[in-house]
Structure 1
């Protein structure tokens, strides 16, 4: 008997909870006192369409208080169902209206659906952002390397946020402009004496074209002297020329050694022929004896001439002594 009233009370609580969930009377009353005209049926239909009524009502109240008559309930629901961020869009519209920035609801929702934070973009339009570039190394015409760091002040361009390039593109273009400016300088001293010339040259290139930002200024924060690239290249070239000269000299030396070996071989060959010819002399003498073309006295004269020649050769040599007679 006691369980009956308990179940009844629980059922009443559930029913009241479901009623207040699908019929948000407090939310409707809050919108009513804020000057936003919206019916309870519309709030119930939002629940059925799985659109949070609290988000829509708060956005309508904020827009109404800011005097943004262009913000409509149907458009807010459509933007939410498309995956947009209603709070950011309304915040951005209010901030843009206060700062006299031309931003309508269609543009704001398009920027939001493009994946960009439209509220942050409006804030950046009012308060420009400073981007520090990484160290950029470039070489002047005199061969000296300079390492520069720049600070780029940018302001968001509302009209270019949809389809415009991001910060990475701006940094890459600024780095390219710094390299080009330093590379066209005759001397690194001129760059160190007048670093603002880099900023002027880079700004004249219109680097913010096609990006989501407007470049306000480019300031060179720091310039350091790096390596002497020109001297290093000359040293490398001299080393290469030396290696080439050494290779050519080694080639000539090898050819000379080969020619020397060839001449030694020819000398050996000639010496062998002389020895071979000398070996034929006794044979020729013996043949002459047998044929009667050479007598004993002729042979003795030949030996005397040979001994006399040997004596002269020994005397002609330093420290030479005449051969002993047998």
Structure 2
């Protein structure tokens, strides 16, 4: 009797331990909910998920959601995506949203988009409801030298097929900005752009700027166009100032050269005057020697003095005449 009681107690303890182990390993309520939802998952599969360190709650919840939405999803694919670091719930929600919107999206592509670092659910929503992104203010100069500043609003829709490997919003904004600069720069007059801003949007949209990106550009609308600086006039003024500085520098160089030449001429004149004074100082001595040696007579000397006096008188009269003429 004692042995039977001990065996019974042991069986009860073992049973309780097995039940607790099953409750811990297998989410019984969720498993029951999955069965009631039509999701057939064996207990062995749930145990295998635990062994592979995959939370059964995540996989079962995703399977229940997809089943209720009428989508067939492979549990092994969901496990592989979870083990790869993906977001299982976002992928399933994206598949459901794409199915309701009649957008072709396979589980393999959805998991690839999610693992690429993009929000696959947001991409599906953007495919249904396009997104408007605004460019920063873009400044460009028309051919007449007037600067224009434009802001554009770009309506884009996600392209599911190009999400993996496609460029992001920054590339779209950069290309649109480049197109705006090119269009304004090719305009003959800035008034043409102000009168018809749609010239920018039509020209930019025709360039096919969405190639190689993860988006499809639906429209480009010019939100604002403002007149900026007169760049052409500023460039002309800068060129004129530069030319003036060059001319002033050349004039200063010529003035310096003229001053140098004047100083050189004055030096030569002083040198000639010094030589003249030296020569004049030697005349009396030469006259005295000529008189002593008999090469000049006394009458010749007085005749020379008379000629010199007459010359000085004529020079004085000429100077007084010039002064009278200038006074008149």
1:1-326 paired onto structure 2 within 5 Å: 18-69=21-72, 71-318=73-320
* Cα deviation, residue 315, structure 1: 3.4
Residue 13 to residue 223, structure 1, CA distance change in 2 (3 Å): farther
SS where residue 211 of structure 2 aligns? Answer: coil
**Residue segments in structure 2 that go unaligned for 5+ positions in a row:** 1-13, 323-328
Deviation per CA, 1:162-194: give whole Å up to 9, x if none: 000000000000000001111111111110111
**Rounded Cα–Cα distance in structure 1 between residues aligned with 2:16 and 2:260:** 114
SS where residue 103 of structure 1 aligns? Answer: coil
Counterpart contact for 1:24–1:40, Cα < 8 Å? no
* Cα deviation, residue 15, structure 1: 7.6
SS where residue 317 of structure 1 aligns? Answer: helix
**Rounded Cα–Cα distance in structure 1 between residues aligned with 2:226 and 2:18:** 75
* Cα deviation, residue 313, structure 1: 2.9
Which has more helix, going by share of residues?
2
* Cα deviation, residue 304, structure 1: 3.2
SS where residue 311 of structure 2 aligns? Answer: helix
**Rounded Cα–Cα distance in structure 2 between residues aligned with 1:106 and 1:100:** 17
Counterpart contact for 1:128–1:154, Cα < 8 Å? yes
Deviation per CA, 1:218-276: give whole Å up to 9, x if none: 00000000000111111111111111111221222222222222221222222122112
**Rounded Cα–Cα distance in structure 1 between residues aligned with 2:181 and 2:17:** 71
Residue 262 to residue 79, structure 1, CA distance change in 2 (3 Å): same
Q: Give the aligned partner of residue 7 of structure 2.
A: none
* Cα deviation, residue 30, structure 1: 1.3
SS where residue 144 of structure 2 aligns? Answer: coil
Q: Structure 2-normalised TM-score?
A: 0.90
Decide which moves more: 84-93 or 40-49.
40-49
Root mean square deviation of aligned Cα: 2.1
**Rounded Cα–Cα distance in structure 2 between residues aligned with 1:314 and 1:143:** 71
**Rounded Cα–Cα distance in structure 1 between residues aligned with 2:205 and 2:213:** 14
Counterpart contact for 1:25–1:40, Cα < 8 Å? no
* Cα deviation, residue 110, structure 1: 0.6
Counterpart contact for 1:151–1:220, Cα < 8 Å? yes
* Cα deviation, residue 46, structure 1: 1.0
**Rounded Cα–Cα distance in structure 1 between residues aligned with 2:138 and 2:16:** 69
Decide which moves more: 24-33 or 157-166.
24-33
Aligned length: 310
**Rounded Cα–Cα distance in structure 1 between residues aligned with 2:198 and 2:311:** 98
* Cα deviation, residue 277, structure 1: 1.3
SS where residue 320 of structure 2 aligns? Answer: coil
**Rounded Cα–Cα distance in structure 2 between residues aligned with 1:126 and 1:153:** 12
Counterpart contact for 1:148–1:220, Cα < 8 Å? yes
